[in-house]
């Protein structure tokens, strides 16, 4: 008998209790990059509207509490890495071996469930910036995620003449997700048609590593301080007249870069008060 059409009577032994969890989405694709990084895609709730660059809370059910026998969801903030127009949602994730969520999340497979609270928020949005000529995306590690969304958002190219994305990681393999994504824009027929053929020529990609040899070594902050990054890119240091910036990295990076941007005369913006730069943590420490 065809196993697809075979009908078996459901009895108590074969029936599984399927928990009717609200906000459950289905994993559609998983890609692993290094032993510490992976990306995955999930179905998108029909009601979810978000602005490219925002984050949501996602999670999995935790283990049974040995005392109460109850299971609680483990929820964490995640930047949506896909653009606002995409049918599915993409996430780019760290694997923390003893992390409550990612010790489990790193094992997800297509078909598995993921809890997603459909309440997007965040400051890395176009609305929080005043008009400008050049947009800088500054990322370390998984801080690339919101920029993966914004790099596929038509408004990014409508609003700016040039987009500079800097990504600082410890090792070369940690750049793969970002590098592949930017490379894929060149042959993305849909985006080339919607935004304009060759839109990707506005992107300047500046990847650097700090602990493994690569074409450009060093922290972006040091490379800017010495002037090397500006010489490499052939642009002047940031100015409040022309430049806008979004920062997403570890806390020390965010603070250091924030101070540098303020010294160039840029002010921090927010949804309610658009200015010249915005900042968000890639994770809490
Ligand atoms: C606004 C916001 C957006 C976020 N977006 C993302 C995202 O898009 N992708 C993502 O992987 N994480 C993101 N995070 C971090 C995420 O919320 C979790 O911390 C992460 O998934 C690890 O969860 P955990 O339960 O396994 O470990 P946790 O207990 O949450 O973290 C354990 C430790 O691991 C380290 N750590 C946590 N997250 C990271 C990270 N992303 N990179 C490097 N070290 C980390 C920190 O030292 C932390 O103290 C975001 C956090 C915030 C606040
Ligand atoms: N195999 C492992 O178990 C392993 C490997 C790597 C990391 N980790 C742990 O995972 C956590 C996160 O590591 P991560 O590499 O993803 O993120 P990270 O420590 O935030 O580093 C990412 C990149 O940001 C750079 N950076 C850090 N502070 C900066 C600052 N103030 N200004 C400019 N650049 C700055 C780092 O350079 P520097 O290299 O110069 O700091 C690195 O290139 C850490 O707690 C770490 O201990 C574990």
The C-alpha atoms of residue 121 and residue 232 are separated, in whole angstroms, by: 35
Q: Whose CA is nearest to atom 47 of ligand 2?
A: 96
Average pLDDT of every residue of the chain: 93
Q: Which listed ligand is nearest to 82 at the C-alpha?
A: 1
Residue nearest atom 38 of ligand 2, based on CA coordinates: 210
Q: In what order do the strands lie in the sheet with 113-121?
A: 73-79, 55-61, 113-121, 24-34, 37-43, 88-94
pLDDT tens-digit map of 78-131: 999 999 999 999 999 999 999 999 999 999 999 999 999 999 999 999 999 999
Helices (H), the chain: 102-105, 145-150, 154-159, 176-185, 189-195, 220-225, 228-233, 251-263
Name every protein residue with a CB atom under 6 angstroms from any ligand 2 atom.
36, 140-141, 168-170, 210-211, 219, 221, 250, 252-253, 256
pTM: 0.93
Q: Are 72 and 13 contacting, i.e. CB atoms less than 8 angstroms apart?
A: no
For residue 280, the CA-to-ligand 1 centroid distance in Å is 13
List phi, psi (to 5°) of 253.
Answer: -65, -50
Residue 54 near ligand 1, beta carbon < 6 Å: no
The whole-angstrom distance between residue 257's C-alpha and the CA centroid of its chain comes to 19
* pLDDT for 22: 67
Nearest ligand, CA 209? 2
pLDDT at 10: 45
- Ligand 1 in contact with 149 (CB < 6 A)? no
Closest ligand by atom to 175 CA: 2
**10-54 pLDDT, tens per residue?**
444 444 444 446 699 999 999 999 999 999 999 999 999 999 999
DSSP string, 119-136: EEE-S-SGGGB---SEEE
CA distance 78 to 195: 27
**How far is the C-alpha of 247 from the C-alpha of 49, rounded, in Å?**
23
Determine contact, residues 278/147, Cβ cutoff 8 Å.
no
**135-188 residue pLDDT tens:** 999 999 999 999 999 999 999 999 999 999 999 999 999 999 999 999 999 999
Closest ligand 1 atom to residue 280 Cα is 1
The whole-angstrom separation of Cα 112 and Cα 198 is 37
Q: Please, are residues 26 and 114 in contact by the beta-carbon 8 Å criterion?
A: yes
Instruction: Supply 246's token pair.
Output: 């979004």
The Cα-based distances of 144 to 12, 50, 82, 113, 234 in angstroms read 48, 18, 12, 25, 23
Torsion of CA 261, 264, 266, 267, to 10 degrees: 70
Question: Distance from the CA of 278 to the center of ligand 2, in angstroms?
Answer: 21
Q: How far apart are CA 38 and CA 28, in angstroms?
A: 14
pLDDT of 72 reads 94
Atom 19 of ligand 2, residue of closest alpha carbon: 250
Answer whether 282 contacts ligand 1 (Cβ < 6 A). Answer: yes
Q: Residue 139 has which token pair? A: 């990322």
């Amino acid at each position: 008998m065809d196993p697809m059409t075979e009908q078996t009577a459901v009895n108590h032994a074969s029936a599984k209790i399927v928990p009717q969890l609200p906000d459950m989405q289905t994993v559609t694709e998983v890609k692993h990059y290094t032993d510490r990084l992976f990306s995955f895609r999930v179905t998108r709730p029909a009601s979810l509207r978000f602005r490219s660059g925002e984050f949501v809370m996602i999670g999995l059910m935790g283990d049974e509490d040995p005392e109460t026998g109850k299971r609680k969801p483990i929820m964490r903030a995640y930047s949506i890495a896909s653009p606002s127009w995409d049918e599915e949602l993409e996430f780019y994730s760290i694997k923390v071996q003893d992390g409550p969520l990612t010790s489990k999340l790193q094992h997800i497979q297509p078909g598995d469930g993921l809890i997603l609270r459909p309440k997007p928020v965040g400051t890395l949005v176009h609305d929080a910036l005043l008009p400008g000529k050049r947009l800088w995306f500054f990322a370390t590690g998984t801080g690339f995620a919101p920029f993966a969304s914004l790099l596929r958002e038509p408004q990014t190219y409508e609003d700016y003449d040039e987009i500079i994305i800097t990504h600082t990681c410890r090792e070369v393999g940690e750049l793969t997700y970002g590098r592949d994504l930017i490379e894929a824009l060149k042959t993305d027929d849909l985006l080339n048609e919607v935004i304009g053929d060759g839109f990707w020529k506005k992107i300047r990609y500046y990847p650097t590593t700090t602990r493994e040899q690569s074409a450009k070594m060093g922290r972006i902050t040091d490379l800017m301080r010495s002037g090397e990054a500006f010489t490499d890119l052939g642009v002047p240091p940031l100015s409040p007249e022309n430049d806008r910036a979004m920062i997403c990295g570890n806390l020390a990076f965010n603070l250091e870069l924030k101070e540098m941007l303020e010294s160039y005369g840029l002010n921090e913006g927010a949804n309610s008060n658009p200015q010249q730069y915005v900042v968000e943590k890639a994770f809490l420490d």
